[in-house]
Amino acid sequence: MAQDKKKLPGSGLAKGLAVTLRTMTRRSVTAQYPDLQPELPPRSRGVIALFEENCTVCMLCARECPDWCIYIDSHKETMPAVAPGGRERSRNVLDRFAIDFSLCMYCGICIEVCPFDALFWSPEFEYAETDILELTHERDKLRDWMWTVPAPPPLDPGAEEPKELAAAQKSAEKVAAARAQEGDA
């Protein structure tokens, strides 16, 4: 109360007028969405895309999914032996890969857990449907979204080097060392 006494009467009213006037001169924050696409931040979680060439049907994603919203069907195929007299190899072939986006809570655990980089975040978000059943998207749709996945953003300055780079460097050095030894011999 003591502070209030120092102020001029009506200064609060004037302050209010100043606030609205100042807001009027600033750019409004409205996003004109259907006319202008929003500028999404990097690593936006719009939808989950599938790069099925990398999928080995290990089922880790389906098992880790908290909502059980990933459906995978597959069968085994036997491949003829590579070398004569060798063992026949069996291979998993993907028959169905579907994600029910009416259940998905966009936690991204499936993408984290995939050991072969078959799942990616795509920033695509315009896939609303009028029927909830149509939100279950099959592999061809998930594959279409794969082409909307942006390249990973560059590392922050001063960031730690990614582990993949060190690993690749190491193996390259090994190969080079082996070659050098062969040359010596």
Could you list the residues that contact other proteins (CB under 8 A)?
13, 16-17, 19-21, 23-24, 26, 28-30, 32
Minimum CB–partner distance for residue 35 and other proteins (Å): 8
Minimum CB–partner distance for residue 41 and other proteins (Å): 21
Q: How far apart are CA 109 and CA 147, in angstroms?
A: 21
Nearer Cβ to other proteins (25/90): 25
Q: What angle do CA 132, 134, 135 make, to 5 degrees?
A: 70
Select from 128, 157, 124, 129 the least CA-distant residue to 50: 124
Q: How far is CA 184 from the centre of its chain?
A: 48
Minimum CB–partner distance for residue 4 and other proteins (Å): 18
Nearer Cβ to other proteins (3/30): 30
Minimum CB–partner distance for residue 15 and other proteins (Å): 10
Nearer Cβ to other proteins (1/24): 24
Contact yes or no for 136/72 (Cβ under 8 A): no
Q: How far apart are CA 140 and CA 130, in angstroms?
A: 20
Nearer Cβ to other proteins (19/176): 19
